[in-house]
């Protein structure tokens, strides 16, 4: 099974990808890596209304796309489908929609779009996924490239005042920061959580907290990871940090300390959470129900913890004292579109 983003496998999802010879978790590359570009080099042109973005709000990889889409104001150009946080052996389900069917694609399970693209594809069904609405075929599940293309190839469809999330002058530095964060933290928490040997677990655990210490040091005197405004690097770090205390600290045994115990990272995460596009796309209920309900090999009882208390996410962070402008020369996104709001009770409200 592939584990590009989060897959459809029930039970101990990622352990199906463990190389048991060395007891180490390994993440597969995206199988469907077509790009949607302005020049249509891969046969998929950027076109308003043609594609549908399928996400799970539980998945950190999919959450990147949700944040980027909102910051860039692509809601009218790229429609959104949100799956149930729990999968079964038929893949991600559209049970949150009337009749348990996606109203645009007319399918009940995401695997149907994968099958339309490649019959009997042997890998996992992962999110985020972009589907071509006219044909019902999967276009891409390349979660690493997707958000970069939204920022650079979809520019003529961006809202007025959209931020530049991948500024050309800073790309080398952004890429360097993102590479370390991905290797040691975004993927490192999974390597720790799904390790089947003590040595592999401790190695991943060490990577996670070494990287957290490095980014904490980097952010002590600057508001954002690279430059003076939010970039792709901040989005990728945020989607792991926002899950840390709720899931990774206990469920994945990354328990040296909680996010709330690092003053710099906790303030940084709150700053982003309180920025439109971040907190308003975060669903703590889906996050907890997915991880604790699907990973039966780690949590065989399926009990979902009642905590942690989420009220702290709305407390003052004082990061504005470091300067910087969240959207650079741009402006904040507008209100969350009708039908896309995270349900009441799934995140803290003022």
**Beta-ladder partners of 79:** 52
Beta strands in 49-93 (DSSP E): 51-55, 79-82
Strands annotated E in the chain: 18-19, 24-25, 36-37, 44-45, 51-55, 79-82, 129-132, 137-140
Q: How far apart are CA 178 and CA 16, in angstroms?
A: 26
Q: Determine the 3-state secondary structure of 83 from DSSP.
A: coil
* Residue from 289, 179, 195 nearest 237 by CA: 179
Calculate the alpha carbon distances from 286 to 58, 289, 307 in Å: 5, 5, 13
Q: Which residues pair with 44 in a beta bridge?
A: 36
Options 51, 59, 143, 224, the catalytic residue: 59
Per the residue annotation, which of 190, 268, 291, 292 is the catalytic one?
190
**Given the structure tokens 């695997």, which residue do they identify?**
111
* Residue 254 bears catalytic tag: no
What number of H helices and E strands is found in the chain? 9, 8
Whole-Å CA distances, 128 to 5, 95, 168? 7, 17, 25
For residue 59, indicate whether it is catalytic.
yes
Long-range CB contacts for residues 79-82, cutoff 8 Å, separation at least 24: 79/49, 79/51, 79/52, 79/53, 79/104, 79/133, 80/52, 80/53, 80/55, 80/340, 81/52, 81/53, 81/54, 81/55, 81/105, 82/55, 82/56, 82/57
Gap between the Cα atoms of 7 and 91, Å rounded? 7
Query: What does the block give as tokens for 180?
Result: 């370390």
User: CA 41 to CA 53: how far, in whole Å?
Assistant: 20
Q: Which two tokens stand for residue 57?
A: 């709000």
Read off the tokens for 158: 């961006």
Q: Tell me whether residue 313 is annotated as binding.
A: no
Q: Residue positions in the annotated binding site?
A: 92
What positions carry a catalytic annotation? 59, 190
Q: Residue positions in the annotated binding site for glutathione?
A: 92
């Amino acid at each position: 099974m592939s584990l590009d983003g989060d897959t459809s496998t029930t039970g101990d999802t990622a352990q199906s990808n463990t190389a048991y010879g060395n007891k180490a978790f390994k993440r597969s590359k995206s199988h469907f890596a077509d790009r949607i570009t302005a020049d249509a080099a891969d046969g998929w042109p950027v076109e308003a209304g043609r594609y549908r973005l399928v996400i799970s709000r539980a998945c950190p990889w999919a959450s990147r796309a949700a944040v980027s889409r909102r910051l860039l104001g692509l809601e009218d150009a790229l429609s959104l489908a949100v799956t149930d946080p729990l999968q079964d052996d038929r893949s991600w389900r559209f049970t949150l929609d009337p009749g348990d069917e996606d109203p645009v694609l007319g399918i009940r399970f995401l695997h149907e779009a994968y099958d339309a693209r490649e019959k009997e594809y042997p890998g996992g069904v992962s999110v985020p996924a972009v589907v071509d609405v006219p044909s019902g075929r999967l276009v891409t599940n390349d979660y690493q490239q997707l958000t970069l293309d939204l920022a650079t190839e979809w520019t003529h469809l961006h809202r007025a005042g959209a931020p530049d999330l991948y500024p050309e002058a800073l790309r080398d530095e952004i890429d360097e920061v993102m590479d370390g964060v991905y290797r040691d933290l975004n993927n490192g928490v999974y390597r720790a959580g799904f390790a089947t040997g003590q040595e592999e677990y401790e190695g991943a655990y060490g990577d996670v907290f070494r990287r957290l210490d490095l980014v904490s040091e980097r952010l002590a005197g600057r508001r954002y990871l690279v430059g003076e405004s939010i970039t792709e690097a901040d989005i990728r770090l945020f989607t792991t940090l926002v899950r840390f205390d709720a899931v990774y600290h206990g469920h994945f045994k990354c328990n040296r300390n909680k996010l709330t115990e690092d003053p710099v990272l906790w303030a940084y995460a709150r700053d982003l959470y309180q920025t439109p596009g971040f907190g308003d796309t975060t669903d703590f209920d889906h996050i907890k129900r997915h991880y604790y309900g699907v990973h039966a090999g780690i949590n065989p009882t399926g009990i979902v913890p009642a905590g942690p208390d989420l009220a702290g996410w709305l407390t003052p962070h004082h990061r504005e004292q470091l300067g910087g402008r969240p959207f650079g020369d741009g402006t904040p996104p507008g209100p969350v579109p009708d039908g896309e709001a995270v349900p009441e009770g799934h995140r803290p409200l003022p």
